[in-house]
Amino acid sequence: MNILLKSAKIVNGATKEIHLKKRDILIKNGIIEKISTSIDAPPKTKIIENKNLHVSLGWIDTGVSFGEPGYEERETIENGLRTSARSGFTDVILNPNSLPLPDSSSDIVFLKNAGKGEVTNLHPLGNLTVGGKGETLAELYDMRNAGAVGFYDFKQAVANANLLKIALQYAQNFNGMILSFPLDHQIAGKGIVNEGVTSTKLGLKGIPSMAEELQVSRDLFILEYTGGKLHIPTVSTADSVKLIAAAKKKGLNVTCSVAIHNIFKTDEVLEDFETNFKVLPPLRTSKDAKELIKGVKNGIIDFVTSDHTPLNIELKKVEFDHAEYGTIGLESSFGALNQLFSTEETIDMLTRGRKTFGIEVPEMKEGVKANLTFFDPTVEYTFTEAHITSSSKNSLFLNHMLKGKVLGTIANDQVYLND
């Protein structure tokens, strides 16, 4: 397949000579053949033009959930990957959030095979412990050999400190990545939203910031003792950012992410008891959101993630106390980030992460495989269900103004074009 991007503004800070320059880009059989100020289209070439066409390296989301196997009504892998491609992502890291949980090499092989043949590449995480029960380490080495890029009991902290110690020590033998969710469940108790003025006013049980910060502090202390690679997914408090900044200053090999909705909204929106705003970690205060944004800008927070968690309607259309945690976020990721940050900052955030998880990093140059996302960063619109291609519609971003439209993606010698 031949594809020609015409007069596309390149957003790629890593390649200074073409950064923010308008160029034609010719792709033949999945390879970038030529980047030039003007290229004549060869025969049988698909030409992609737009009055405000921008292009960057393909985007990556470091934490998404689908449903398959076990919860296909929430999201199949096929539809999840096509939603990812439509949303601009050429790589996604899949959370272990299915039934059965992926805690063996055969489970990882199943997930890898289910994701073949799509524009978007699927990179599964394996469970850290057998059955996600937090008791016995799963087959980490075998899962790594089968294609797992890290090990994580989804939304579960490693409660057993010794188990985390052993996992970090063991995984160093094969450069494995250990993930630990930042929440002390004993401190959190039966809390369901951020503990503060809003929770008190609404009569909802709160999760104190301390529940996150104690867990982060303990995990960092263990990491300092053991060495190894630790990733802390979806931090949500100002003091968590400070703790991680101090750990990085010490030279510890720690990375972290923030969910886009935790920097886009605060707990003030809970006053209508809208269950789509029930997420974990919970929406925090404006002070927390400001520090999280600052952490993303200065690199203390390594990645942003949609934390895409599709849930069928009966898990959300219930009383707030009984609703499940989670929001979808793939389709709204670019528009939400581009509303908060400059386009250059947004693209930088959306292209970080591959190297940390051992995934091949694409390049914007002639002779390499095309892994690209193209978009118009100026389009403003109200996000509605019409913009959602996920099987589940539980979006925190519904009816919010977003900025920026994804036009398509190119990867694996395929192109996905949006309407």
Over residues 83-96, the pLDDT tens digits come to 999 999 999 999 99
Cβ proximity of 276 and 217 under 8 Å: no
Q: Is the pLDDT confidence value at 121 over 90?
A: yes
pLDDT at 147 over 90: yes
> Do the strands 254-259 and 303-305 form a parallel or antiparallel pair, or are they unpaired?
parallel
pLDDT at 419: 78
Distance (Å) of CA 152 to CA 113, 126, 147, 164, 337: 20, 6, 14, 11, 26
Count CB neighbours of 17 within 10 A.
7
Mean pLDDT value across residues 304-308: 98
Instruction: Using the predicted structure, report yes or no on whether residue 182 has a pLDDT greater than 80.
Output: yes
The domains located in the chain, with CATH, are 2-55+365-417 (2.30.40.10), 58-71+81-350 (3.20.20.140)
In this prediction, residues 182-200 reach a mean pLDDT of 97
Residue 150's pLDDT is 98
Contacts of 206 (CB under 8 A, 6+ apart): 191, 192, 193, 194, 195, 196, 199, 200
* Per-residue pLDDT tens digits for 339-366: 999 999 999 999 999 999 999 999 999 9
Collect all residues with Cβ–Cβ distance below 8 Å to 227 and sequence separation of at least 6.
168, 169, 172, 253
Distances (CA, A) of 189 to 36, 99, 262, 276: 59, 25, 21, 21
What pLDDT, on a 0 to 100 scale, did the predictor assign at position 274? 97
- Residue 292: phi, psi to the nearest 5? -65, -45
Please state, in angstroms and rounded to a whole number, the distance separating the CA atoms of residues 148 and 107: 10
pLDDT at 14 over 90: no
pLDDT for 79 equals 98
Indicate which residue of 307, 321, 348, 419 is catalytic. Answer: 307
Pairwise CA distance, residues 252 & 385, whole Å = 43
pLDDT band at 15 (very low <50, low <70, confident <90, very high): confident
Tell me how many degrees the CA angle 307-308-312 measures, rounded to the nearest 5. 135
Question: Which pLDDT does position 103 carry in this prediction?
Answer: 98
Whether 390 shows a pLDDT value over 90: the answer reads yes
Instruction: Give the model's pLDDT for residue 210.
Output: 98
Which backbone phi and psi does 408 adopt, to 5 degrees?
Answer: 165, 175
Q: Can you give the pLDDT at residue 352? A: 94
Average pLDDT in the chain: 97
In the chain, the percentage of residues whose pLDDT exceeds 70 is 100
Q: Is the pLDDT of residue 313 over 90?
A: yes
Q: How many residues does the chain have?
A: 419
Mean pLDDT of 7-20: 91
Q: Is 307 labeled as catalytic in the residue annotation?
A: yes
Residues 417 and 419: their CA atoms lie apart, in Å, by 7
Whole-structure pTM value: 0.97
Torsion, CA 75, CA 77, CA 79, CA 84, rounded to 10? 100
H or E element, residue 213: helix 209-226
- In the predicted model, is pLDDT for residue 190 greater than 90? yes
Going from the C-alpha of 276 to that of each of 34, 327, 383, the distances in angstroms are: 45, 6, 14
Parallel, antiparallel, or unpaired: how do β-strands 414-417 and 401-411 relate? Answer: antiparallel
> Cis link prior to 281 (omega < 30° from 0)?
yes
Residue 180: pLDDT band (50, 70, 90) is very high
**What sign has the CA pseudo-torsion 378, 78, 109, 128?**
positive
Residue 1 has pLDDT above 90, yes or no: no
CA distance 301 to 244: 8
The token pair that represents 293 in the structure block:
């944004």
245, 272 contact by CB (below 8 A): no
The pLDDT of residue 88: 98
161, 184 contact by CB (below 8 A): no
Whole-number Å distance between alpha carbons of 400 and 398: 6
Euclidean distance between CA atoms 296 and 280, whole angstroms: 19
Model confidence pLDDT, tens digit, residues 236-256? 999 999 999 999 999 999 999
Provide, rounded to the nearest whole percent, the portion of the chain with pLDDT above 90.
98
d(CA 88, CA 67): 20
> Over 80: is that where the pLDDT of 387 sits?
yes
